[in-house]
Structure 1
């Protein structure tokens, strides 16, 4: 059962305050203050975990984020003299904070050393401020930076997750792959990346909630997961397939919208092809996990992973299957 301590509640409040200050600021200094408040609030949350590797992950995260904040602060006055170099440094610092490739080297190790709830915050909430900054600062010069990072992120996220057996690293590489689609959505408009980010957050929360409740950290634990709760197991694999973008699940809808924007705006077809290829690879290792877990499960290999209230997670398949009901909603509306 998840217990929230008073200091975690306080630092969670200041974490959200840092995000609000950063995205609503009109000056570089206030924006930097919001980023630092967000960083200094997340570090105590990371170290509050009972995991012995949490301190190491918190130190890695602090050093990387401090490097990104220092680069961002140094690039702001440089914009008066070298505007193009300043834009390049700013976007590089934001990509470093996001954990997007080719600056992704810190993201999977940090994810591996923290708990599932902290991983969810790192994958979703901590990415709001850098993405919002990139969407407001985008220009003709920065589009090539975003395109390059999106292509590399899609390939790294897809290929990096193929040979992983640790679930947190699989989810982290999947997050890097989703970052490629988010960067592509930034190129079009704010509404597009907001829709994609909201759908990604909901699906990630549905996956993490089940993995956290059963304390699943390895691929072998999925094979022997709670054989007496088949609806729970089905809800997990529906959520995983939705995270991979398999139609008709919820994760396919924002990707379809981005594909339509690519075709309507006649943006680089090569970029779109690479994104689709990487999405197929991520879907492949999610299908491998799902099929292996269903086929290889037997009563001889069952373990004692029991959930306190399995019925609370039965709503998760309906969340990922919600696109099936959209035509009915439109039918009754019109």
Structure 2
């Protein structure tokens, strides 16, 4: 795919999300979601492999289903009230359709079944867009509709997502599936928090986007598609593996890394509103996720398979005197912020 076409498609995706975030009309919101989805489909199947095409078709069918539910719910609302505004009170049928549609788009359980397979079949850069940017618009809708939407239904879905996200990632060896189940769990944390504090949910979304972007980019740079590749890359680029390990632990919420602020923010607002039982269940579910994050870090740091002496010193001999590329500087900045950005994220409480 040429650079001009890719630039146009990326701009269209940004435009679709901007339309959804700034609009208060259901029909315009539906148009923004469809623009973003249709512009993303050609990018997803750019490598044109059978697995890639399969993942693209699955993604398109799920997005078409969720868009149909959203449009039908909005049409029922317009038929009964004569208004397309998202600010007007809605009936139960409309809210049920919209709730299910947003759960599909975000990847909340039990509407999560498509997400791991789709992410596994996509390259890292395309998977990054699906796992991060494409979730901004539906999450903003959930934040906006937190007073009208079925809160009990989405809170239960979020709690199940935390458990399934941790349980599903236990026996996975493919890094993209591990990131998919991790995203499902994190979406559960963000959605539950949004009903008790929109400001806290926004902080969590920013931290999630920051850490996930850094992990996807560094895994793409090192071409780490499975956990077995971590042992080989550890011999060739020790610093990169240290960054990868710290980013994975940060995503798991291990203090004092940046990802700890994601769960700390949620627990702070939930406990402040006296939701002790719900917080306890969320903590218990997150322990499953933290277990396989720690297992990955343990394997990387302690299990070193025998290698030829030349491969052990390849990273030393490949040191060049050329200036670092802009991509390397950007990835380094994201990695550092994803690991030790607590002093940066703390002011978000004051700003937001």
Match of 1:289 in 2: 296
Equivalences for 1:34-183 in 2 at 5 Å?
34-79=32-77, 80=80, 83-139=91-147, 142-183=150-191
Runs (4+) of structure 1 exceeding 4 A deviation are 301-317, 323-329
Report the aligned-residue RMSD. Answer: 2.6
Residues 38 and 292 (structure 1), Cα distance of their counterparts in 2 relative to 1, 3 Å cut: same
Q: Distance in 1 between matches of 2:319 and 2:265?
A: 36
Q: Is the 8 A contact 2:132 2:213 kept in 1?
A: no
Deviations 1:212-238 (Å, cap 9, x if unpaired)?
011111111112214142111111100
Residues 22 and 326 (structure 1), Cα distance of their counterparts in 2 relative to 1, 3 Å cut: closer
Deviation at 1:76, TM superposition (A): 1.5
Deviations 1:123-162 (Å, cap 9, x if unpaired)?
1100011111111112366110111111110011000000
Q: Is the 8 A contact 1:32 1:73 kept in 2?
A: yes
Deviation at 1:328, TM superposition (A): 12
226, 250, 255: which one aligns with 1:242: 250
Match of 2:31 in 1: 33
Deviations 1:173-194 (Å, cap 9, x if unpaired)?
0000001111112112332122
Q: Is the 8 A contact 2:169 2:289 kept in 1?
A: yes
278, 281, 302: which one aligns with 1:274: 281
Comparing 223-232 and 83-92, the one that deviates more: 223-232
- Mapped pair 1:318 → 2:336: yes
Q: Distance in 1 between matches of 2:44 and 2:294?
A: 31
- Mapped pair 1:264 → 2:311: no
Q: Is the 8 A contact 2:215 2:244 kept in 1?
A: yes
Q: Is the 8 A contact 2:249 2:293 kept in 1?
A: yes
Q: Is the 8 A contact 2:211 2:338 kept in 1?
A: yes
Deviation at 1:297, TM superposition (A): 1.4
Deviation at 1:171, TM superposition (A): 0.5
Residues 176 and 328 (structure 1), Cα distance of their counterparts in 2 relative to 1, 3 Å cut: closer
Q: How many residues align?
A: 326
